[in-house]
Amino acid sequence: MIIINNLIINIINEMKKLCSILLLIIINLLSYTQVNNDWQWSHPKPQGNDIRYIKMLAPNNWVAVGYTGTLIRSTNAGLNWLVYTNYFGTYQAFLGQGKNIYGADFFGNTGIAAGTQGWIARTTNGGINWDSVGSSAGTTALWNASFGDANTVYIGGNSGMVLKSTNAGLSWTTAASPSGNANRTIFALDANNVFTGSLNGTIYKSTNGGSSWTAIVTGSTTSIIFGIYFFNSNTGIVTGGTNYFRYTTDGGANWNVPSVPAFGAELRVYGRKSPDEIYILGDLYNLYKSTDYAASWSTIPYQYPGQIVGLTSNTMDVSGNTLIVGGVNGLLNISINNGTSWTGISNVLTNYNIFDVAYNSQSGKVWAVGNTATGMNNSILFSTNRGISWAVQNSLSSAYLRCIHMLDENTGWISGNSGLVLKTTNGGINWNQVNIPGSSGQSLTYVQFANLSTGWVFGYSGGQNLFKTTDAGNTWQTQTYGSTDNGARWATMLNASTGYYVSYNITNSRIFKTTNGGDNWTEQTYPNPGNLWSIKMINTNTGYVCGDGGRLFRTTDGSAWVTVTAPTTNNYTSTDWYDIDNGVLGAGSGFAAITTNSGQSWLVKNTGGTSVWSMRMTHPDTIWCAQGFGFLFKYVKGSAIGITEWTNEIPESYFLKQNYPNPFNPATTIEFGLKKAGIVSIKVFDVTGKLVDVIIDNVQFNQGTIKTAYNASKLSSGVYFYTLEVDNIKIDARKMILMK
């Protein structure tokens, strides 16, 4: 009976543990739900793009927008978040990357967001849905928005542009330009009294709704104005670059310097009229608050306990006792007690480049390495649960870490700048520095082991910086490269005998092969020489190499390299392949292209991040992408919304096919063909001929057949026309019907 009772108790305890694990998994899934994103944020979470505007519209309804089309929303006061990447359409200069949102403002549930290339979005339901709004801004960057009343709203942009709407953002006119400078901020005291900033410490004031402007010198002739807030026509404050503060109580006739210890490159101001409060933000660690019109200030530290990285604030909001701060790298910190204590929504462990990632599919362990701030050792990120959550492993040094190679879940190697080499035998619980004679001061770009004993460390910076060990790193021998180029940028070793490397030469990189473990290297020829970045050999004879200008080459015999036509002429910085058919290409601005047929066709899927440094395809459906600013993404095969497919089927003439399905709601596919490489634009017009959306604009494609998925959720039901332009020449137009 005792045995049975103990058994029952053990079963109950195990069930409790299982329920706890399931609850944690559910909480993790609910906390950061990433909507319609093939690439999922792994670090940081909920996302890492800069937050430029945040608003608590109601106690539970919070919304924030930011770089690369970021939209995040919470309906339960920040406990759970819906994360949208590339939500506001693509930035035309970079295929697939979302448009940056630089500023926004709300009046009740009506909101206006403005950003890249004259783009404006409008919501009337508290940020749940947004529609694109046409304007006369053209390609001018728009920086901020401000409501004067429920119907009157202003937007400031580059080249002195000021846009005005008198119908809550439905349509826009261009107001008089106060100057030729960029208006990085705009503030409407009411429908007629408007202030805007400049690049030289001057602000401009209009008392007639933007028809004319008066220049007001605030003291500096060099500071960029980033913030303006006025309580009334007399009392206001401006902030700018490099710790710039000024406030006035006489409408700008005289300016004083507040006695506040804030510092930052882009200081901003946030104000409330009831109660009378001013906050200064833009600091790495603190907010500064005044309740007596800038006469005195209190300091509010907004970092939470254990926050590793100090991040600069861009925006904030206050509602009752709740403060929320948003900023760079996805900073989101919350206080529910007027700033006495804080909780971090975002979990940023490093905000510098991640250069490489290693994944053990059996254990689910993931390591990512990069660089860090001087004096910090947080350049190794570690996850035990396939990237759901992360911790920091001690890197022993603040040197840049360039490459990680894990032989199994316990044994691994890291190489980096300043001759740094690290080894672990317990999965990174401890990393031990390995001394390689002759490596001091050199950038060691690549480390790889054929087995537990035999491995190589490649590098550049001159010297004979190729090192080999056959006794697990106890001793090292120096080997000679195949050329006098500045070392190796990337390498791949297949076994103890055969390997390849790409030389570090930005004008004419070379490919070398060894069949005797690095004792000798033979140069291989390839078409169209240029700057190469990455090489991946699938086996001793089969592999791919990529580089600048759309360069992509393949070998199937280990000697002859042939051209594989890539979808664009981007500078490809990384490529990885699971087998000869399944591969991925990465480039700047989050560009990613995936193929399942040896490069005959590609799916173009932007990550929503920044520069791609390394991609690791551990399965056709599993790809890790390491990027700048500490960004790490994981590819999840799923939604095809917003992708572009390129196929190496070259038509005899240009063509534009009918979209399908048609009618549609809200997604459809548009197919077109290019007989020659060219700059492509696909634009959408309404029945009056008004431009209402841009699907692809000024993007360089190689010749071939292209399919692009278009989501028209931002448009109303109706008849539209879409056109294909190649090198600014209109090729064709077709009609499509949106039925919601």
pLDDT tens for 160-200 read 999 999 999 999 999 999 988 889 999 999 999 999 999 99
Q: Is residue 658 part of a domain?
A: yes
What pLDDT does residue 34 have? 76
DSSP string, 71-92: EEEESSTTSSEEEESSTT-B-T
- Least confidently predicted of 41-45, 359-363, 418-422, 582-586: 359-363
pLDDT band with cut points at 50, 70 and 90 for residue 22: very low
The residue to which tokens 């332009």 are assigned: 725
Residue 460 has pLDDT above 90, yes or no: no
Span 17-27, average pLDDT: 35
Task: Provide the phi-psi class of 244: left if phi over 0, else alpha when psi is between -120 and 50, else beta.
Answer: beta
Q: Is residue 389 part of a domain?
A: no
Residue 348 has pLDDT above 80, yes or no: yes
Q: Is residue 385 part of a domain?
A: no
Span 585-595, average pLDDT: 94
Span 122-135, average pLDDT: 87
Rg (CA), the chain: 28
pLDDT band with cut points at 50, 70 and 90 for residue 94: low
pLDDT band with cut points at 50, 70 and 90 for residue 627: very high
Alpha-carbon distance 592 to 573, whole Å? 10
Residue 686 has pLDDT above 90, yes or no: yes
Span 227-251, average pLDDT: 95
Span 529-547, average pLDDT: 97
Alpha-carbon distance 261 to 99, whole Å? 35
Span 500-529, average pLDDT: 95
Residue 9 has pLDDT above 80, yes or no: no
What pLDDT does residue 79 have? 86
CA distances from 740 to 685, 711, 712 (A): 18, 12, 10
Q: How far is C-alpha 707 from the geometric centre of its chain's CA atoms?
A: 24
Long-range contacts of 285-294 (CB under 8 A, 24+ apart): 285/310, 286/262, 287/313, 287/316, 287/323, 287/325, 287/339, 288/260, 288/261, 288/262, 289/339, 290/258, 290/260, 293/231, 293/235, 293/247, 293/249, 294/237, 294/247, 294/256, 294/258, 294/260
CATH, residue 708:
2.60.40.1930
The residue to which tokens 């920086």 are assigned: 143
Q: Is residue 37 part of a domain?
A: no
What residues contact residue 3 under an 8 Å CB cut-off, 6+ apart? none
pLDDT band with cut points at 50, 70 and 90 for residue 539: very high
Report the mean per-residue pLDDT for the chain: 90
The number of domains in the chain is 1
Span 539-550, average pLDDT: 97
Does residue 410 contact residue 425 with C-beta atoms inside 8 Å?
A: yes
Count how many residues are written for the chain: 740
Parent domain of 700: 649-738
Q: Is residue 51 part of a domain?
A: no
Residue 494 has pLDDT above 60, yes or no: yes
- Least confidently predicted of 27-31, 416-420, 426-430: 27-31
What pLDDT does residue 36 have? 65
Alpha-carbon distance 194 to 152, whole Å? 11
What pLDDT does residue 464 have? 64
Alpha-carbon distance 556 to 580, whole Å? 9
Residue 259 has pLDDT above 70, yes or no: yes
Span 30-47, average pLDDT: 80
pLDDT band with cut points at 50, 70 and 90 for residue 7: very low
Q: Is residue 674 part of a domain?
A: yes
The residue to which tokens 């390491």 are assigned: 626
269-323 confidence digits (pLDDT tens): 999 998 999 999 999 999 999 999 999 999 999 999 989 999 999 999 999 999 9
710-740 confidence digits (pLDDT tens): 888 778 899 999 999 999 899 999 999 999 8
569-579 confidence digits (pLDDT tens): 899 999 999 99
- Least confidently predicted of 155-159, 419-423, 468-472, 666-670: 666-670
What pLDDT does residue 462 have? 60
pLDDT band with cut points at 50, 70 and 90 for residue 517: very high
Q: Is residue 571 part of a domain?
A: no
Span 23-34, average pLDDT: 46
What pLDDT does residue 3 have? 40
Q: Is residue 181 part of a domain?
A: no
What pLDDT does residue 440 have? 87
- DSSP H or E stretch at residue 21: helix 2-31
Residue 403 has pLDDT above 50, yes or no: yes
pLDDT band with cut points at 50, 70 and 90 for residue 129: confident
Residue (of 639, 638, 614) closest to 628 by Cα position: 614
> Going along 426-530, which residue ranges are E strands?
432-433, 443-449, 455-460, 466-469, 477-479, 488-493, 499-503, 511-514, 522-524
